[in-house]
Structure 1
């Protein structure tokens, strides 16, 4: 993985990646479209994030869009764990959800990932 997040100083960080690391442009779009900035702002500020409802609505929309994309990507990666790396359901649920007994949850993720892949 060549996407790098580097703490530069104090409370600053820099994100770098190579074009081949983002073949679908998801990362570029999330940065250019302010989804990533909005999601990080939402993480950092529990209250008083925006002065007006319209700005707050945009921040929420961006955060929700990014959360949906990450959920879809996680589901596709679960397919990779199962199909390409041969992990069992307990292994996947332990590593992904922190509980080896959550088989049904990772199976739902797996099924969702296969749908997103068109399989």
Structure 2
């Protein structure tokens, strides 16, 4: 895996990558804009924070925006990966569904992702 995330100690990690690993600049943008930090903070937040927020309204809005934007980008990237799995590796809809949804019967969901991915890559 060209992009590396390593736990360095306790609650710290280091992310490394080469410029060739980020040709569209998505990683760089996610880090420089604090999008990744907000999304990771959201991932680690407790459910109690929903009912008893400890952050300012502005901070909460920024976190929600960054998390949503990153989730949308990841959805598009996942759809493109489904296209690659189907077209490059010739995997069946069932096998893809089993691996990404843990349910081989979700073939129609995989096909929707495939169609979305093809639109994103302009095919």
Which residue matches 1:11? Answer: 11
Match runs of 1:32-47 below 5 Å: 32-46=32-46, 47=49
Which residue matches 1:118? Answer: 122
Q: Aligned residues, how many?
A: 119
Which residue matches 2:24? Answer: 24
Q: CA deviation at 1:108?
A: 0.4
SS at 2:6's partner residue? strand
TM-score (norm 1): 0.96
Which residue matches 1:70? Answer: 74
Q: 1:49 to 1:110 in 2, by over 3 A?
A: farther
Structure 2 residue runs without a partner (length 5+) = none
Tell me, in whole angstroms, the C-alpha distance in 2 between the residues paired with 1:53 and 1:110.
38
SS at 1:28's partner residue? helix
Structure 1 residue runs without a partner (length 5+) = none
CA deviation string 1:50-70 (max 9, x = no partner): 521111001100000000000
